[in-house]
């Protein structure tokens, strides 16, 4: 951040952005509803910097030279110098070839991985609709600045942290950040985070923070500080240190004996060379690099990008795997559960009614799940939507006026169960039965929709309840079982509520001992990771209502406990 323009407001944190009304927020950010001017935007861009997460880059030459640095590399280089002194050209060539070969293999693997990651970033480059000097224009998201007025609508990836200031509502998919499998409704005054996705609605907002100051950027900053030495690197360093000490001791003995016997210096250097080369496995780094490079090529065929060769060995040596739920263990696709039928002829007729009350042109995830639940899609063609009233967070239901193939008209509606129950004006017995069904679905972590249809008299009939959930992937349970057979303890991590987490974990055989993330992050000073906190994290089968920052500290907790398995190296989980 450039400090030359100190009159600009500092980046807003999420709590302060939520506490301010729209007008106060615009005033604080020194902006206007008709947007900044181009000159103002350029000044702010120079002050705040690009709306990107800055990475510390190492020059390729420096990176390549780093492969010639380290205990074993030093000993090999000393052996090469000694070979040159005694003019043993054959040994010199062999040593240098092995040294350079090891560096080239490691550097080339990381270079290719870096190129692949950069290509992914280029493909994911975002655009943003921003208001500048009263006109809406499209710019690169990287050029957004705090105070910019931005429009968000269906399909947009949120380009920065944005406070919503105008519009009816916006449905946001935050699964990439929080793991919540269902979209979250946002209204004026709410904050939407960078990298979430707009699934429904359209609203205008003001950019509060950009780049590394966003909620996503703060998490990325945490991860970037997590610099650890891999077990592979530790092992090589230990071997290198041990060999150096042995080699130095032997050379010292050799020199002492040689000086005592008055041997020529050149002869002593030759002996020292022989000892050094014999003491150090010159080919060790090259053999290890080639072995892991072969592994990286195999993983590449499986569409995995290996950014560091050491990560292969590190992954092979893990004993706890913290896995996301949404899209990893589950399909990240809503599916209908078994409906609770009330006044419908059968489950399929109720699903058909719900499908008729869905958006035909731009269906959201819920509408798609319902339409896919209709066994005979041809039935939908026998009806025509004369009018459609979309769902909104105030009424909490959608409604459609339908005309069938015989010309008869009727109305259909779906929405929040309590709203549909009020719409149908049920008696106490039916309402109590419906409330029990909603509670049972909620205990399983399902989202429930009520479905209604008008009768001939124009009144509403309550047809029943539709449960929606994100089902496990077909191969998830088998994959987890194989991982556990290899001694890996699996812990599910999700931003969803604890009921959904327990239901999915139970179905996958992970166990139902699910903790809330806040139960692990107890201390105010989270740098002080206690043994008891780490132990409670280790005993858990999973964690619910997790935010990205929680994931970082959760892994730190588990690593701090320096976990070791008991007599049974193959953990098993109960689904009970």
List Cβ neighbours of 131 (8 Å cut-off, separation of 6 or more). 33, 34, 35, 137, 148, 149, 150, 151
Distance CA 196, CA 187 (A): 15
Provide the pairing of β-strand 489-493 with 542-544: parallel
To 10 degrees, what angle do helices 265-279 and 89-123 make?
40
Q: Assess contact for 200 and 206: CB atoms under 8 A.
A: no
Distance CA 67, CA 309 (A): 13
Structural element, H or E, at residue 314: helix 310-316
Provide the pairing of β-strand 320-324 with 489-493: parallel
Q: Cα dist. 123→143, 158, 301, 415 in Å?
A: 17, 16, 21, 37
Dihedral over Cα of 246, 252, 258, 261: its sign = negative
Distance CA 106, CA 308 (A): 8
Q: Name the DSSP class of 375.
A: S
Dihedral over Cα of 138, 144, 148, 151: its sign = positive
Residue-by-residue DSSP string for 324-356? ESTTTTB-SS-EE---EESSSSSHHHHHHHHHH
Q: Cα dist. 338→25, 353, 466 in Å?
A: 46, 16, 7
Residues assigned a catalytic role: 324
């Amino acid at each position: 951040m450039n400090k030359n323009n100190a009159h600009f407001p500092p980046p807003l944190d999420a709590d302060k952005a939520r506490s301010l009304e729209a007008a106060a927020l615009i005033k604080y950010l020194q902006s206007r509803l008709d947007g900044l001017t181009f000159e103002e935007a350029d000044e702010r861009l120079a002050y705040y910097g690009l709306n990107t997460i800055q990475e510390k880059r190492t020059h390729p030459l420096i990176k390549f030279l780093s492969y010639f640095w380290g205990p074993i590399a030093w000993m090999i280089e000393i052996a090469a110098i000694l070979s040159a002194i005694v003019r043993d050209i054959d040994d010199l060539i062999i040593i240098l070839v092995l040294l350079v070969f090891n560096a080239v293999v490691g550097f080339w693997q990381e270079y290719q991985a870096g190129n692949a990651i950069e290509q992914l970033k280029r493909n994911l480059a975002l655009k943003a609709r921003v208001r500048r000097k009263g006109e809406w224009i499209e710019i690169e998201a990287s050029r957004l600045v705090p105070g910019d007025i931005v429009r968000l609508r269906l399909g947009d990836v949120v380009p920065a942290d944005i406070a919503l200031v105008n519009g009816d509502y916006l449905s946001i998919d935050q699964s990439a950040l929080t793991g919540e499998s269902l979209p979250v409704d946002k209204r004026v005054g709410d904050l939407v985070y960078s990298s979430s996705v707009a699934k429904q609605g359209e609203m205008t907002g003001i950019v509060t923070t950009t780049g590394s100051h966003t909620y996503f950027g703060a998490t990325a900053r945490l991860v970037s500080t997590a610099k650890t030495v891999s077990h592979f690197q530790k092992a090589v360093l230990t071997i290198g240190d041990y060999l150096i000490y042995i080699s130095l001791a032997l050379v010292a003995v050799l020199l002492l004996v040689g000086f005592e016997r008055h041997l020529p210096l050149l002869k002593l250097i030759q002996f020292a060379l022989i000892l050094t080369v014999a003491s150090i496995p010159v080919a060790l780094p090259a053999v290890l690099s080639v072995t892991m490079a072969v592994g990286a090529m195999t993983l590449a065929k499986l569409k995995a990008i290996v950014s560091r060769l050491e990560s292969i060995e590190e992954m092979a040596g893990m004993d706890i795997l913290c896995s996301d739920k949404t899209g990893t263990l589950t399909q990240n696709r809503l599916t209908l559960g078994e409906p609770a039928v009330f006044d419908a002829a059968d489950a399929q007729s109720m699903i058909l009614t719900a499908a008729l009350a869905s958006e035909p042109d731009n269906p959201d995830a819920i509408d798609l799940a319902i339409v896919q639940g209709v066994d005979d899609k041809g039935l939908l063609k026998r009806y025509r939507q004369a009018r459609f009233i979309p769902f909104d967070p105030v009424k909490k239901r959608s409604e459609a006026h339908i005309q069938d193939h015989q010309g008869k008209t009727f109305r259909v509606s779906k929405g929040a169960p309590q709203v549909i129950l009020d719409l149908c004006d049920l008696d106490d017995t039916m309402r109590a039965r419906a409330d029990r069904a909603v509670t049972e679905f909620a205990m399983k972590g399902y989202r429930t929709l009520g479905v209604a249809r008008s009768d001939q008299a124009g009144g509403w009939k309550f047809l029943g309840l539709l449960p929606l959930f994100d089902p496990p992937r077909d191969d998830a349970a088998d994959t987890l079982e194989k991982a556990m057979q290899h001694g890996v303890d699996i812990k599910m991590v999700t931003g969803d509520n604890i009921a959904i987490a327990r239901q999915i974990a139970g179905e996958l055989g992970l166990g139902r001992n699910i903790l809330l993330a806040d139960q692990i992050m107890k201390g105010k000073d989270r740098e002080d990771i206690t043994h008891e906190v780490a132990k409670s994290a280790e005993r858990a089968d999973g964690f619910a209502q997790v935010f990205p920052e929680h994931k970082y500290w959760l892994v730190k907790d588990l690593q701090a406990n320096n976990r070791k398995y008991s007599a049974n190296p193959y953990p098993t989980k109960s689904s009970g």
